[in-house]
Structure 1
Amino acid sequence: MMERRTGEIAALLGADLRGADDVLVQGVAFDSREVAPGNLFVALPGERADGHAFVGAAAARGAAAALVARPCGDAALPQLVVTDTLDALQRLAADQRYRGGFRLAAVTGSVGKTSTKEHLAAFLATTFPTGATRDSRNSQAGFPTELCNQPEGIAWMVAELGMNHPGELDRLGRIARPDALLYTVVAPVHLEFFPDLDAIAEAKAELIPHLAADGVLVLNAADRRVAALAPRFAGRVVTYGAPGVSHLWIEDYRSRGLLGSTFSLCSTQERWPLSLPLPGRHSADNVLAAAACALSLGVPPESLPPRAATLTPPPRRGVVHRLPSGITVVDDSYNASPVAVQRLLELLGETPGRRVAVLGEMLELGAGAPAFHAQVGAAAGQVAAVVVAVGGSNAEVLARAAAPAECRVVRDAAGAADVLSGLLRPGDVVLVKGSRGVGLDRVVDALVEAG
């Protein structure tokens, strides 16, 4: 974890220090609710709230100092005044990366980043002291903060890096300077900000120039846009996903529905049978990606099967709740894209019981949003007896395409919870998935609370 004196931070950032220069700062937080004693609180401007309004609250929670764009006179702690607090946080993280002494494996892609990151960290931890970014903290503020908070003594940090706009991954890459770079897939996510999938792939490629020359680039050979990135790196390239062609692939996949799957990881010379408790072929693909990267970094292959058998999904990403009422709820409410939703619908189709799909609108899809929602609706209608579509006009498009399933359209999560309370019965299997902004996690919580 970063440990610096306030005077040292001020000198690094060229900040105007208002207060003592010998105060020890340990770690970073930009959410005042998460401040731990000794933290540097970074006051970031936001769409909903300005962090400067919470400097006092951060001080009350034990913050040692605050990084601010304007002095907050009522806060009794040293303040480092800079022009741009986000830029200053990123510069601080870049310096911490230089001093940290650990190597960094970065994971990016349109879908599967968080799960793949968690799996890679679990595999590396069988062999090396390992740290990782928490949850989905992959943003311009989230990743630098996580980097500054990594524990002492780790050999590897596994970091998820995300973006919404061109140029963002270039900026994160300058901070991360990865020693390994793993790509999952390029899919129709954030199309509101990009003209097409090729533009998304180009934005994802912004990380490659920052990969260490002696590092490793790990690519999904089953995704043509990802596979096409190989010539952009002059160093070592490892591929996965294409049987008989790539370095690692899956054979003998057998779904066990909500109980997970069994399959073998295969190379040209060996195969390793795995039993995975996570549902869906997409989960197996995420494990494959993580395994390809872990093996390339020196994890012994015999370490993979026992660790894979104990993997758990991140919160809101395929967590299975078996309720006392006999209803099973699959909580994948964290976020949604057309590819990810259709993968989960395929899983729902393999699961016994009456199938209910609660699907929220998929946001940031641009002009193609109606067509994507129609595709998802058609897929839902093929596997679900009941479809509850949540949101506005695109939810209505989804519901119309979901015939012959019984369809309901509601405006929000509260409406969905109300409909489900009178609809569900023992033996039902309920998939809940939608973009984060729709808030379908509240539907899951209501179902779990009701039991």
Structure 2
Amino acid sequence: MRVSLATIAQWLGCPAPEGAETLWVEGVAFDSRQVRPQDLFVAAPGEKTDGHLFVSEAASRGAVAALVARPVDAPLPQLVVSDTVSALQALASRLRQEAGFQVAAVTGSVGKTTTKSMLAALLARRFRVAQTQGSRNSQLGLPAEMCNLNQDVEWFVAEAGMSRKGELTRLGEVLRPQALLYTRIAPVHLEFFPSVEAIAEAKAELIPFLDPQGVLVLNATDPYQESFSSRFSGRKLSYGLPGKSDVWADQLASRGLLGTSFTLAGPLGGFAVDLPLPGLHQVENFLGAACLARALGVPVEELAAAAGKLRAQPHRGEVHRLPSGALLVDDSYNASPVAVARMLELLAQTPGRRVAVLGEMLELGPQAPDFHREVGAKARGLCHRLFAVGGENARVLAEAFGTEGTYVASAEEAEEVLQNELREGDVVLIKGSRGIGLDRLVAALLAGRG
């Protein structure tokens, strides 16, 4: 973007500071540590702090102005609005209209980030593509990503996340996508929802904002999406269900942690895929991405060529060889009961002594003990050894596993326990909710301390 501060003030309906006509904004940032020269710093409220406290720091890093909810004593021109988050979303929406790029939104409970990256890689075979970085899929992160796009982008692949009802409505008003892809809906964020059905309703909030001339892609194997098709009158495609979808996987041959080979079958498929990402859940993610990419005009041969070059996102199924000789599968970014079960099934297909290090699964509400008990029981038949990390629910998980299950309270304690546990020939799965911090355990083990 390159817009004068005066124009932004006009768009947001707020007073323009003196000299705004000569000040040019080239990007936005809401973390003062990430401010670049010519950025507009958004002073957003946070759970632990307030962006208004860091306006001066943003100025020192080269910010051209600040978006604030109240004037701040800082050497920086300021746009004063009633709500900085809403103003950022309005700015992103206006810039989206001005730039004219198209949006492909990806949402669901699990697999969003991986599917988003797959879709971006597939579309890039034909279009100029940008995507949300990492998991910047929130009320702040997603509009900030839109404001920072290059002007030549043709398709923006946007991961849209939520933890509460109404959040996808707000993002839908900003995105107004031409394409919408659903991964899978699962019991995530049950701390804020009474049921998985309620989560599905919240996920469906994006559908009314989909361009009537656009395309909706649904996961045909997910029962929670059965009602979604009737909510959109435009083009609808589905994936995953053999003989009844537009694409599905046939002739599957799992290679464990090394990936899966299969044939992409169906009206939009018809080619062999050698996917170097572990797990059937990655096959499902690819099916969704390939279904939408084909619908948007990417040729079959281009999809096949791109598939072999895909790699796991950081902490989402990355495979490492440890100094001890053990093979480590780093899936420590986050966890839900469905996602943990999938990775345990993958672990079971891999030769060697199978060790699972599972962090407590957070935000599961009052059903959390039951979910942890179920995961522990499932793991008992799929791996030889289990370490559960976290609070009381992790203890429940370890107890459900049985005598070979060990409970530890933190990632640091897990490192100490694992120091003498891992050996050559072991396969170690590390997975847990972000709040448990198992990425620290991964880093320690890779550094050779484990």
Distance 1:270 1:136, change over 3 A: closer
> The residue matched to 1:59 in structure 2 has which SS?
helix
Q: Does 1:37 align with 2:40?
A: no
- Matching residue of 2:421: 423
2 CA distance for matches of 1:367 and 1:19? 54
2 CA distance for matches of 1:268 and 1:172? 32
Contact 1:19 1:77 in 2 (8 A): no
- Matching residue of 1:413: 411
Contact 1:18 1:81 in 2 (8 A): no
1:20: how far off? 2.7
Instruction: Please tell me the residue identity of whatever aligns with 1:199.
Output: A
> The residue matched to 2:381 in structure 1 has which SS?
helix
Aligned 1:134-213 pairs, distance under 5 A: 134-213=133-212
Contact 1:328 1:427 in 2 (8 A): yes
Q: Does 1:437 align with 2:438?
A: no
Distance 1:269 1:148, change over 3 A: closer
Aligned 1:251-266 pairs, distance under 5 A: 251-266=250-265
> The residue matched to 1:450 in structure 2 has which SS?
coil
2 CA distance for matches of 1:47 and 1:422? 39
- Matching residue of 2:57: 57
1:328: how far off? 1.4
Instruction: Please tell me the residue identity of whatever aligns with 1:188.
Output: P
1 CA distance for matches of 2:319 and 2:376? 23
2 CA distance for matches of 1:19 and 1:364? 47
> The residue matched to 2:217 in structure 1 has which SS?
strand
> The residue matched to 1:343 in structure 2 has which SS?
helix
1:89: how far off? 0.5
- Matching residue of 2:232: 233
Aligned 1:378-417 pairs, distance under 5 A: 378-404=377-403, 406-417=404-415
1:19: how far off? 4.5
1 CA distance for matches of 2:176 and 2:38? 27
1:14: how far off? 2.2
1:269: how far off? 7.8
Contact 2:247 2:268 in 1 (8 A): no
Contact 2:322 2:328 in 1 (8 A): yes
2 CA distance for matches of 1:139 and 1:60? 27
2 CA distance for matches of 1:117 and 1:70? 36
Q: Which moved more, 1:154-163 or 1:374-383?
A: 374-383
Aligned 1:41-440 pairs, distance under 5 A: 41-73=41-73, 75-268=74-267, 271-404=270-403, 406-440=404-438
- Matching residue of 1:11: 10
2 CA distance for matches of 1:11 and 1:200? 37
Contact 1:103 1:155 in 2 (8 A): yes
1:250: how far off? 0.5
Contact 1:361 1:438 in 2 (8 A): yes
For residues 148-181 of structure 1, the C-alpha deviation after alignment (integer angstroms, 9 at most, x for no partner) is: 1111211100000011111110110000000000
2 CA distance for matches of 1:53 and 1:418? 39
For residues 110-164 of structure 1, the C-alpha deviation after alignment (integer angstroms, 9 at most, x for no partner) is: 1010000000000000011111111111110011001111112111000000111
Contact 2:325 2:425 in 1 (8 A): yes
1:16: how far off? 3.5
1 CA distance for matches of 2:444 and 2:50? 31
1:55: how far off? 1.3
1 CA distance for matches of 2:341 and 2:416? 25
2 CA distance for matches of 1:135 and 1:247? 29
1 CA distance for matches of 2:406 and 2:110? 28
1:420: how far off? 1.0
Q: Which moved more, 1:276-285 or 1:374-383?
A: 374-383
2 CA distance for matches of 1:324 and 1:399? 27
Contact 2:247 2:269 in 1 (8 A): no
2 CA distance for matches of 1:249 and 1:202? 26
Contact 2:162 2:168 in 1 (8 A): yes
Give the TM-score normalised by the residue count of structure 1: 0.97
Distance 1:17 1:290, change over 3 A: same
- Matching residue of 2:27: 27
Instruction: Please tell me the residue identity of whatever aligns with 1:311.
Output: L
1:423: how far off? 1.4
Instruction: Please tell me the residue identity of whatever aligns with 1:67.
Output: L
1:413: how far off? 1.1
> The residue matched to 1:16 in structure 2 has which SS?
coil
> The residue matched to 1:304 in structure 2 has which SS?
helix
2 CA distance for matches of 1:269 and 1:248? 6
1 CA distance for matches of 2:217 and 2:60? 45
1:25: how far off? 0.6
1 CA distance for matches of 2:268 and 2:356? 42
1 CA distance for matches of 2:77 and 2:200? 43
1:270: how far off? 5.4
**Root-mean-square deviation over aligned CA pairs:** 1.2
1:356: how far off? 1.1
Contact 1:244 1:268 in 2 (8 A): no
> The residue matched to 1:432 in structure 2 has which SS?
strand
2 CA distance for matches of 1:355 and 1:330? 11
2 CA distance for matches of 1:412 and 1:356? 17
> The residue matched to 1:417 in structure 2 has which SS?
helix
1:91: how far off? 0.6
Instruction: Please tell me the residue identity of whatever aligns with 1:100.
Output: A
Q: Unaligned 5+ residue runs, structure 1? A: none
Q: Which moved more, 1:125-134 or 1:52-61?
A: 52-61
2 CA distance for matches of 1:189 and 1:177? 25
For residues 339-383 of structure 1, the C-alpha deviation after alignment (integer angstroms, 9 at most, x for no partner) is: 000000001111111111111111111111011001111122212
Contact 2:2 2:25 in 1 (8 A): yes
Q: Unaligned 5+ residue runs, structure 2? A: none
1 CA distance for matches of 2:439 and 2:14? 41
Instruction: Please tell me the residue identity of whatever aligns with 1:367.
Output: P
1:292: how far off? 0.3
Contact 2:269 2:300 in 1 (8 A): no
> The residue matched to 2:212 in structure 1 has which SS?
coil
> The residue matched to 2:67 in structure 1 has which SS?
strand
Contact 1:240 1:248 in 2 (8 A): yes
1 CA distance for matches of 2:57 and 2:312? 33
2 CA distance for matches of 1:228 and 1:129? 33
